[in-house]
Every structure is written in structure tokens, then in C-alpha cells.
């Protein structure tokens, strides 16, 4: 039997690659930089499956170069780089990796909140730089207990953050387009966007990036927040107007920002945000644990294989064209 032609952008775990080997002929681009378009288009000419990555824009322009494509999979829950409508028009199912990354991403999100509130990372710098040894004092952090955390974009990761916040004695409010049906179960209260901005001690962004959420946090929004507010973004950098955030931090309109996602990504050390002392930035590691990335990688391979065999993808975004 002839093998399926597959293009893989990014690194797969060996256990995921094993699932593909045997049935697939694989072309891999695993460098950090973006694959040049001419090479990608050339590879896609006879590809039946594509494993994409966040830096590849999958839209009609790309799909026009992939006449044999029957499935796309990606190792992420977010799919703002994929034009789902364009895939659906060509009856190509797209598979992502929700659920398996929930707890790891919630840990990192809450970790950012905790580390910035209690100055954990600054404390380590302080010790390393010998400031403790010469009797200096690290500025105090702030309590979590009794404070209000406001979640923008309450989905499964948000719910997992709620559990962590409640364990620390925090009150949780949230804002979504629509109120959820399980508030009684989670113990989080639905509020309007304005209320979230003005009443939260910690604002946590977990919404997907869409036309509606792009630049949702700008100058006006930061002005409405408490001057003591901590702003945490573990979703997508583009939900925030980076320039506005910078000015809000410099002008002390808010107290602190802890970000796992930025614009641009990667952010370089010469960026103005990095020079501030009231910022903590991690390099988009929300789901980056060995166990979680392995599960994501395996699920990506399973989604791809199912599509190649014209079988139902275990996790499909455009179910209407799932096999």
C-alpha cells in the first residue's frame, strides 16, 4: 500500500511520530523560523495531511497550493492562524488539542499571578545579585487572600484557574459574551465587561483571539482598572494593545503585568516592556510541560491519521466536515 504524503511543521514527540511512521511519508520543517512560502507550497503540492504551527497562516491562499489535502492538525487549542471557513469550504477538517492542556495552562496562568503578586521571580534575582546578603529588603508583594480575580474568557482553562483561585481564598468574577450555565457549580459570578475592569484586583485574560477580542484591552480599558490591579495574559498577545499596556504600566494606571503571550512573539530584550520593573514575561509556555506537550503531540498525530484514513477526527473544530 502506498504511503500518505504528510507535511509536518514543528517538532513532534517520538511517540507521536511513531504513530505516523509506517503509514506516512513525512516532510518535516522543525526549525524555529518560519518555513519559506515557496518551499511550503512545493511540499504541499502532493500533501494529503498537514500538521501546522501557529506561525503558518492557513487560508485560501495556502490551500490553493494543496489540492490533495484532506486533513489539517495542530498542536494547540487556539487556532487564530487557521481560517476555518476556508478549510470548511474545501471540506478539510481541522483538528486541535483542547482538554489535554487545561491543567498545565491553568497552573502557568495562576503561577504568573502568584509569582507577580508575591515577587517570587524578583526574590530569586535579589538573592542571586547578592542584595539579600548585604541586608537589603525586597519590596513587599500583595495578598491573594480576599482579593477578586476577574477572568476574561471563561472556558475550561478559566474553570481550572477558578479552582486554584478559590483554594487561595479569592473571589472570582468573569466576563464572556454570554453567561455560562454552570456558575452555581464553579462559584464564579458573571459580570459586565465594565464591572470586570473596575472591580478586579487581578484581571486574567484567557479568551481566544478573534475579530471581537483583538485589541480588547487598550488605553480606555487600562484607565478603568484599579491602580493596584495586576494584569495577567495567558491567551494571545494581540488581545492587548501592547503600547497602551506599556503606558498604563509606566504611568502606574495599573500595578503590574504578567504575560505568557506578547506582540511580537518572541519578544526581544530591547523591547520597551522588558525594561520595566513591574512586568513578568514568560516565553509562551502555558502548555509546555513534558506530559502535556506529549499528549498534545499524540492527539495531533491521532487527528491527522484519522483524517488521512477518512475517519472521524477525535477533536475537530469544523465538525460539519469531519469524516
Catalytic (active site) residue 119: no
Q: Minimum distance from CB of 101 to ligand 8YV (Å)? A: 6
In the bound state with ligand 8YV, the residue whose beta carbon lies nearer, of 106 and 306, is 106
- Among 236, 253, 293, 298, the active-site one is 236
In the bound state with ligand 8YV, the residue whose beta carbon lies nearer, of 12 and 24, is 12
In the bound state with ligand 8YV, the residue whose beta carbon lies nearer, of 148 and 213, is 213
CB 196 within 8 A of CB 171: no
Question: Residue 278: CB partners within 8 Å, gap ≥ 6?
Answer: 249, 255, 256, 257
Q: Minimum distance from CB of 292 to ligand 8YV (Å)? A: 8
Interaction site with ligand 8YV (CB under 6 A): 54, 75-78, 101, 286-287
Q: Minimum distance from CB of 104 to ligand 8YV (Å)? A: 8
What's the CA gap between 253 and 233, in Å, rounded?
A: 17
- Among 61, 99, 265, 319, the active-site one is 265
Start-to-end CA span in the chain (Å): 21
In the bound state with ligand 8YV, the residue whose beta carbon lies nearer, of 5 and 287, is 287
Q: Based on the number of CB atoms within 10 Å of its own CB, is 57 exposed (0-12), middle (13-18) or buried (19 or more)? A: middle
Catalytic (active site) residue 271: no
Strands annotated E in 196-314: 202-205, 230-233, 256-259, 279-281
204 beta partners: 151, 232
In the bound state with ligand 8YV, the residue whose beta carbon lies nearer, of 20 and 101, is 101
**What element of type H or E holds 286?**
none
- Among 175, 216, 284, 293, the active-site one is 284
What's the CA gap between 45 and 65, in Å, rounded?
A: 6
CB 45 within 8 A of CB 1: no
Catalytic (active site) residue 163: no
- B/e letters for 263-291, b = 16+ CB within 10 Å, e = fewer, are beeebeeebebeebeebbbbebebbbbee
Backbone angles phi, psi at 151, to 5 degrees: -100, 125
Q: Minimum distance from CB of 43 to ligand 8YV (Å)? A: 20
In the bound state with ligand 8YV, the residue whose beta carbon lies nearer, of 156 and 189, is 156
CB 117 within 8 A of CB 257: no
What's the CA gap between 53 and 174, in Å, rounded?
A: 30
Cite the active site residues. Answer: 236, 265, 284
Amino acid at each position: 500500500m502506498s504511503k500518505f504524503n504528510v507535511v509536518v511543521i514543528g517538532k513532534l514527540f517520538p511517540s507521536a511520530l511513531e504513530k505516523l511512521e509506517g503509514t506516512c511519508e513525512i516532510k518535516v520543517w522543525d526549525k524555529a523560523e518560519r518555513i519559506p512560502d515557496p518551499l511550503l507550497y512545493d511540499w504541499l503540492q502532493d500533501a494529503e495531511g498537514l500538521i501546522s504551527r501557529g506561525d503558518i497562516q492557513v487560508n485560501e491562499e495556502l490551500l490553493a497550493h494543496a489540492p490533495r489535502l484532506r486533513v489539517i492538525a495542530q498542536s494547540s487549542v487556539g487556532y487564530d492562524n487557521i481560517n476555518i471557513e476556508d478549510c470548511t469550504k474545501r471540506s478539510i477538517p481541522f483538528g486541535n488539542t483542547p482538554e489535554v492542556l487545561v491543567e498545565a495552562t491553568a497552573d502557568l496562568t495562576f503561577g504568573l499571578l502568584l509569582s507577580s503578586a508575591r515577587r517570587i521571580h524578583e526574590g530569586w534575582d535579589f538573592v542571586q545579585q547578592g542584595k539579600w546578603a548585604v541586608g537589603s529588603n525586597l519590596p513587599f508583594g500583595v495578598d491573594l487572600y480576599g482579593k477578586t480575580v476577574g477572568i476574561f474568557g471563561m472556558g475550561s482553562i478559566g474553570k481550572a484557574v477558578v479552582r486554584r483561585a478559590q483554594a487561595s481564598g479569592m473571589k472570582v468574577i468573569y466576563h464572556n459574551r454570554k453567561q455560562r450555565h454552570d456558575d452555581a457549580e464553579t462559584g464564579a459570578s458573571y459580570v459586565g465587561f465594565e464591572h470586570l475592569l473596575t472591580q478586579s484586583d487581578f484581571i486574567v485574560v484567557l479568551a481566544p483571539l478573534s475579530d471581537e477580542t483583538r485589541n480588547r484591552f487598550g488605553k480606555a480599558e487600562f484607565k478603568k482598572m484599579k491602580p493596584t490591579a495586576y494584569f495577567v495574559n495567558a491567551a494571545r498577545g494581540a488581545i492587548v494593545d501592547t503600547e497602551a499596556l506599556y503606558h498604563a504600566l509606566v504611568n502606574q494606571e495599573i500595578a503590574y503585568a504578567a504575560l505568557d503571550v506578547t506582540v511580537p512573539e518572541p519578544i526581544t530584550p530591547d523591547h520597551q516592556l522588558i525594561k520595566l520593573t513591574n512586568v513578568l514575561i514568560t516565553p509562551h509556555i502555558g502548555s509546555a510541560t513534558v506530559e502535556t506537550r506529549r499528549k498534545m503531540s499524540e492527539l495531533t498525530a491521532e487527528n491527522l491519521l484519522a483524517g488521512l484514513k477518512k475517519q472521524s477526527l477525535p477533536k475537530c473544530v469544523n465538525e460539519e466536515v469531519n469524516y
